[in-house]
Amino acid sequence: MLPDSAYLIFAPDLRICRLLNGLWQLSGAHGHIEPRRALSEMPRYHDAGFTTWDLADHYGAAEEFIGSFREWLRAERGEAALAQMQAFTKWVPRPDAMPRSAVEAAVDRSRRRMQTDQLDLLQFHWWEYRDTRYLDALKHLSDLREAGKVRHLALTNFDTLHLQRVVERGVRIVSNQVQYSIIDRRPEVQMSAYCTAHNIWLLTYGTLCGGLLTDRYLGAPEPSAAQLNTASLRKYKQMIDAWGSWSLFQALLRELRAIADKHAVSIANVAVRYVLDKPAVAGVIIGARLGISEQRAENARCFSFALDADDRARIDAISAQGRDLFRLIGDCGDEYRR
């Protein structure tokens, strides 16, 4: 099991694991998975202490997988066991009219798929800020929270300005999910300070750059387009290219390897620990390739060590040699609205 430091009181009624199991791989953009084998892996994550899952309504059958896992927990361990796991889903509608009936139908669909009366956390995404009907949707989601269908309400990929507008409307937001890594430090410009001041957590993804920010790529030649064979690899290789060259990325990996050697851990452990220690960060989402591969034992080592001031200074020195992605791309989530 994981140590107590692996868990955080996310809300007064919700304790989470700080390493969340990400289910983007079920969206179909990461190769074939065998459903029965994948489902058989979920109890192993849970029993190892990785009790918190991140998913979305559009990640293939991810919500149904959570529903099947909940059904298994209930049958094998009793109703009380359901309180030991947390499932955070997302609603990502196309911009359109947002009457309560449409919003409630989306929430009910997720509740039905996930076999739960109340969603632990609903993370809302909106594609077009100029269409202000996202405020209508959030008003209805707030009402559905008060009605008990949603426990907590959150955002995903909102920039600081529009997060502020939501908060100023009186919508109670517990977290915002954003991309955050040693490569992409845009949350540090505005987002982290705003969230800290308003008691809003950050859940981060892309922290391992889709697996590129690992020992596997240390000393490796720059991968070809054919070798970038998952949506994650393609996405985060573009982010690395925006930040700097492959040679600079290799310099970063070498520095991370030296720090990892000092602590007897992996490059991935150092990259995750670096972000976990940042202000407002509640947890890091790591893709769970259910039934294909798993790194539970390695990921657990994130909680076996602490980075010191010298470690952080060495990482910052290399990171600063890359381009300023805030100036190049914009604030958190702006890459989805260009």
pLDDT of 36: 82
Percent of the chain predicted with pLDDT > 90 = 88
Contact predicate 153/138, CB 8 Å: yes
Is the predicted pLDDT of residue 289 greater than 80, yes or no?
no
Which of 288, 280, 301 shows the shortest CA–CA distance to 25?
288
| Mean pLDDT confidence for 8-36 | 84
Q: Which band of pLDDT confidence, cut at 50, 70 and 90, is reported for residue 103?
A: very high
| Alpha carbon 304 to its chain's center | 21
The superfamily (CATH) of domain 7-336 is: NADP-dependent oxidoreductase domain (3.20.20.100)
Is the pLDDT confidence value at 74 over 70? Answer: yes
> In sequence order, which ranges of the chain are alpha helices (DSSP H)?
35-47, 62-77, 100-114, 134-146, 160-168, 191-197, 231-243, 246-263, 267-276, 296-300, 309-319, 325-329
* pLDDT mean over 271-299: 89
pLDDT tens, residue by residue, 165-215: 999 999 999 999 999 999 999 999 999 999 999 999 999 999 999 999 999
Q: How far apart are CA 249 and CA 41, in angstroms?
A: 33
Give the separation between CA 110 and CA 162, rounded to whole angstroms: 25
The two structure tokens encoding residue 217: 């790529």
> What's this model's pTM, rounded to 2 decimal places?
0.95
Higher per-residue pLDDT: 328 or 60:
328
Q: pLDDT > 70: what percent of the chain?
A: 97
Confidence tier at 245 by pLDDT (50, 70, 90): very high
Question: Which pLDDT belongs to residue 59?
Answer: 86
What's the rounded Cα separation, in Å, for the pair 27 and 57?
10
Q: What is the pLDDT of residue 34?
A: 77
pLDDT in tens, 318-333: 999 999 999 999 999 9
Q: Residue 231: its pLDDT value, please?
A: 84
User: Is the pLDDT at 284 greater than 60, yes or no?
Assistant: yes
Mean pLDDT of the chain: 95
CA atoms of 17 and 204, how far apart (whole Å): 13
Q: At which residue do the structure tokens 């509740």 appear?
A: 111
Q: What is the mean pLDDT of residues 86-106?
A: 97
